[in-house]
Amino acid sequence: MAEPNRNDEPIVIKKYANRRLYNTATSSYVTLDHLAQMVRDSVDFVVHDAKSGEDITRQVLTHIIVEEESKGTNLLPLSFLRQLISLYGDSLQTMVPSYLEQTMKAFSGNQDHIREVMDQAFVGNNAMKPFEDMARQNMAMFENAMKMFNPMNAQGEASNEATPQAPAAEEDNDDLRAQLEQMQKQLNELSKRG
């Protein structure tokens, strides 16, 4: 579907006023699904408005995420979306992109390990242990990063009032534990069948 780019230059996609997307490398019109597949295939591209020449890659990638979420592929938890929205206009908003980028790099680095564990899930009884350890590490990293965004915690000052995010964090932890337990049950059932 998507041709790998033979040089270091990203493929240029032009977006026209009629919302059609044109791949200049293949001289063909493409859809958002094609662009999503190019991302999955690690094909680098940029999207330019055909009339103004403005780089609109960020908007198009965001549109792809919105489309995927509307199809029922919900990767972004509501609590995450709310936190992200609340950071727009915040004095710390400039730190968010680099934090999210580093977090996604760490997650990407863990993907091979996750796949290995899933492949071996049917062999051992304690298949969820690595996931639990990784979840604890990721949660600790996330909590430390969130402390950076809370000036009271960053200065070491104790607050007499409970922060509004504390109950949400506890609920998220409980949700994660419940999901891990459910996955463990499903893996145990599958291993008994096999």
Say if residue 92 is in the same domain as residue 182: yes
State both tokens at 69.
């979420």
More confident call, 170 vs 132: 132
Q: What is the mean pLDDT of residues 28-54?
A: 95
Beta bridge mates, 23: 13, 28
Q: What SS3 class is residue 191? A: helix
For 134-154, how does the pLDDT look when each residue is reduced to its tens digit (9 = 90+)? 777 777 777 777 666 665 554
Does any domain span residue 2?
A: no
Q: Measure the CA–CA gap between 69 and 66, rounded to whole angstroms.
A: 5
Does any domain span residue 144?
A: yes
Q: What pLDDT shows up at residue 51?
A: 94
Say if residue 34 is in the same domain as residue 97: no
Say if residue 93 is in the same domain as residue 183: yes
Q: Which of 74-88, 118-132, 143-157, 178-192 has the lowest mean pLDDT?
A: 143-157
Say if residue 102 is in the same domain as residue 180: yes
Say if residue 113 is in the same domain as residue 155: yes
More confident call, 165 vs 8: 8
Residue-number span of the structural domain to which 109 is assigned: 78-193
Say if residue 117 is in the same domain as residue 183: yes
Query: Mind giving me the DSSP string for 38-65?
Result: HHHTT--EEEEETTT--B-HHHHHHHHH
**Matching residue, tokens 């298949």:** 127
Number of domains in the chain: 2
**Matching residue, tokens 């968010």:** 96
SS3 content of the chain, % helix, strand, coil (to 5): 60, 10, 30
Say if residue 89 is in the same domain as residue 163: yes
State both tokens at 105.
């790099």
More confident call, 155 vs 22: 22
